[in-house]
Amino acid sequence: MEDKLLKILAVDDNQDNLITLRAVMMDVLPGAMVFTALSGRRGIEIAISQDPDVILLDILMPEMDGFEVCQILKSNPLTKNIPVLFLTAIKTNAEIRTKALNVGAEAFLSKPFDESDLIAQVLSMAKIKAAYVYKLNENERLEILVKERTRKIRQELMERRKLQHELMQSKQFNQQIINCAGEGIVVYGCDLTIQLWNPYMEKMTGILEKDTLGKSPIALFPFLVTSGAVENFNKALVGEPSLPVEFEFEMPSGCKGWVTDSCSPLYDNSGEIIGVIGIVQEISDRKKREQEIVYLNYHDKLTGLYNRAYFEEESKRFNNPKQLPISLICGDLNGLKLINDAFGYEKGDLLLLAITTILKKCCREEDIIARVGGDEFYILLPKTSSETAEIICNRIYKECQSDRFMDEDTAIYPSISLGHATKNLESESLGKELNAAETNMYQSKLLEGKSFRSNIMESIKATMFEKSHETEAHAERLVSLSYIVGDALNLSDIKLNELKLLAMLHDIGKMSIEENILSKPGKLNDEEWLKMKKHPEVGYRIAQATPDLSSIADYILCHHERWDGSGYPNGLKGEAIPLLSRILAVVDSYDAMTEDRPYRSAMPKEAALEEIRSCSGTQFDPEIAELFINKTT
């Protein structure tokens, strides 16, 4: 498939939104062309003229809303294969999502959304568009190729008859032409017996020509009876045209493959049909690519579960009286973003795979399990009562409690909030039941989320102390020293509590750094130092993702800034550095100097205080440094 310039069309009546979308796209996809439209009507015109790879479409717009625009695009042959991704600030629910899918949209994102999710969706939509174009072009190419090959074979045969007439050319010469052909050639008599079997056919099937001559191909390959090849032979025998047929075949060796087979009449010098010539091409690679495209259209790439599109289709198929009662389970995976920030995306993927295994284990073979969002899962349970759905949910909860998905020293278990609802009567709406299941799930999440976050935070703290070779005693000393300074500054109780949290968890971002770097006794090299300097930003993201720590996120980010502006990550200077970060900088340095380290012995208290004094005004806030010295002398 040829690489081509990615074209993106954004339609929104808000100019600021369009500017933001363009900036995001051009930043992450610098080679992309981004078109914008402030109205649905203008968006339709651009879609027709530019044929973009994906359309980002707002819902609420004057004159013509996003649903109407999408419906018009999907009904137009020129734009119907362009994937549409709804971006909207409307509170998402099952009804809106169902309406979006009913008008033909491929995906749905609610504002505010994560840029990485948006880019992933855009690239996914572009692949879908490319798949449409590829399949269309491939079919056209194959048809042209078959016609061209058939024409060339006919031409070769006519030339051979002419040479036979004029030069009395030998059979060996004619055979050489057939042997050099780049596809399988089979000549049949009028009784469907094989008269010629060229070397390409020998190579492809593993059967020598001498073992085929005079035999019916059906005797060699019984599956030809149902493949359509026999019908094409019969048409060619009476001079009727036919289309190539594709079918899967199995060699005598047991190997399987795909071929396309076409048949044409074989004429003698007088124009009488004396047999049929078959052209066989091996297309296994193309069929494999097509199957991969079909699979990705209906499956989630990471987990292998069904995706939202497949779930919506199956919901319609199962929504009939024979399947009642139909139960639905909605699940939302707890803590995925926190796991990604704390342990890295590889661990986040492990969490997704772990919950996938649990869902498959707890559900039946006929149940439809789908990953419909980053951390969202739907389960369709045909012929299942509400009581049975409750049992399945409890089974999932139980499995989560016993299935640790990380290493044995990190006690983190998968956690998913579940809600279920059941359609018992034909008159009831499956969409409303899905909405009810989501509502129940969100209520469950409110009850379970805090407990799960507490579990993760304890694991994060334990892992942080272990990897950074710091002890809880060190953290307690920092808490005590910080309190002395904070109390002397008359900080409020709220700020003192934040200072305590900061003292305990300021190095939480070190979890992202390799242990060999954290424990290295000598000086870090440039590459190692760059990795080390990232831990305040990682800690900031972890704190931002944790409601209990969000209040100290900025302090964590700035705890390695220096008074003279030479610190990191942002080079803040003076009072631009948060006060609590300035306090921590002094007490952390003091404790580090007065305690033994793997690479040096502890410094005497007086020497450490003198070092604090010498760095006052450069590394440390001079007022805090002086206050600390006075309070600890």
Judge whether 211 and 254 are in contact, CB under 8 Å: no
CB of 262 closer than 8 Å to CB of 150 = yes
Query: With contact defined as beta carbons under 8 Å apart, do 388 and 327 qualify?
Result: yes
Would you give the DSSP letter of residue 281? E
Q: Which pTM value belongs to this model? A: 0.54
Other residues' Cβ atoms within 10 Å of the Cβ of residue 409:
9
Please state, in angstroms and rounded to a whole number, the distance separating the CA atoms of residues 349 and 356.
Answer: 10
3 state SS of 261: strand
pLDDT in tens, 55-66: 999 888 888 999
CA neighbor of 331 nearest in space, from 411, 425, 395, 406:
395
DSSP output for 161-186: HHHHHHH---HHHHHHHHHT-SSEEE
Alpha carbon 616 to chain centroid distance?
50
How many alpha carbons fall within 13 Å on the CB side of residue 391? 8
| Tokens (6 digits) for 499 | 């200072």
- 94 phi, psi to nearest 5 deg: -65, -35
CA 273 – CA 239 distance, rounded (Å): 8
Strand pairing class (84-88; 107-110): parallel
For tokens 């072009």, the residue is: 137
pLDDT at position 566 is 95
Tokens of 192: 């469907």
Q: 493-505 vs 430-468: helix axis angle to the nearest 10?
A: 70
Neighbours of 138 (CB within 10 A): 15
pLDDT at residue number 1: 40
Specify the 3-state DSSP secondary structure of 380: strand
Q: For the chain, which ranges sit under pLDDT 70?
A: 1-4, 90-92, 137-142, 144-145, 148, 163-182, 251-253, 403-412, 448-471, 597-600
What are φ and ψ of residue 195, in 5° steps? -110, -25
Q: How far apart are CA 41 and CA 328, in angstroms?
A: 38
Closest CA to 184 of 172, 195, 199, 170: 199
What size, in residues, is the chain?
633
* Confidence (pLDDT) at 2: 45
- Extract the runs of DSSP E, i.e. beta strands, from 224-313: 245-250, 256-267, 273-282
- 405, 407, 411, 412: CA torsion to nearest 10: -30
Residues 37, 72: Cα–Cα separation, whole Å: 16
Question: Which burial class, exposed, middle or buried, applies to 56 when counting CB atoms under 10 A from its CB (0-12, 13-18, 19+)?
Answer: buried
Beta sheet of 84-88, edge-to-edge order: 33-37, 7-11, 54-57, 84-88, 107-110
3-state secondary structure of 83: coil
CA distance linking residue 478 with residue 499, whole number of Å: 10
pLDDT tens-digit readout, 12-24: 998 988 898 888 8
Whole-number pLDDT of residue 300: 93
CA angle 363, 366, 369 (to 5 degrees): 55
Contact 527, 604 (CB under 8 A): no
The whole-number pLDDT of residue 88 equals 78
Q: How far apart are CA 476 and CA 199, in angstroms?
A: 82
Q: What are phi and psi of 386, to 5 degrees?
A: -65, -35
- List the beta strands (DSSP E) in 114-220: 184-188, 194-197
The residues near 379 (Cβ < 8 Å, ≥ 6 apart) are: 328, 329, 330, 331, 359, 363, 367, 368, 369, 370, 392
* 69, amino acid identity: V
Alpha carbon separation from 581 to 396, 458, 501, 548, 617 (Å, rounded)? 43, 23, 12, 18, 15
d(CA 416, CA 371): 13
What contacts 117, CB < 8 A, 6 or more positions away? 109, 374
